[in-house]
Amino acid sequence: MYNCPFHWMQILGSVLILIPFVLAQLKYLSVKSRLYLYLNALGSLMMAVDALIGHQWGFLLLEGTWCVVSVGSIIALSKRSKKH
């Protein structure tokens, strides 16, 4: 069984994903906002690193994909902003 000395990383990463999710569900934050995307990218990156350290491949796939999609959305948003 994997015993992570970085439990704080799991907790912080989860919080960084969950807070914007809850705020979006309550209509306080748009899922297309920079804040939402940055928090998701950072939180999922932290969770992906933890999954990599723990050799949790399914979790790494989930969080790695979440991070890549969030970063891709940030890049797309930046490109759209520059066009206007």
pLDDT tens, N- to C-terminus, the chain (84 residues): 456 566 888 899 999 999 999 999 999 999 999 999 999 999 999 999 999 998 999 999 999 999 999 999 999 999 988 876
48, amino acid identity: A
Q: Count other C-beta atoms under 10 Å from residue 21's C-beta.
A: 16
Check residue 49 and give its pLDDT: 94
The 10 Å CB-count burial string (b at 16+, else e) for 35-71 is: ebbebbbbbbbbbbbbbeebebeeebeebbebbeebb
Which pLDDT belongs to residue 4? Answer: 58
pTM (predicted TM-score): 0.87
Task: Give the H/E segment covering residue 42.
Answer: helix 34-53
Give CA–CA dist 1/4, Å, rounded. Answer: 10
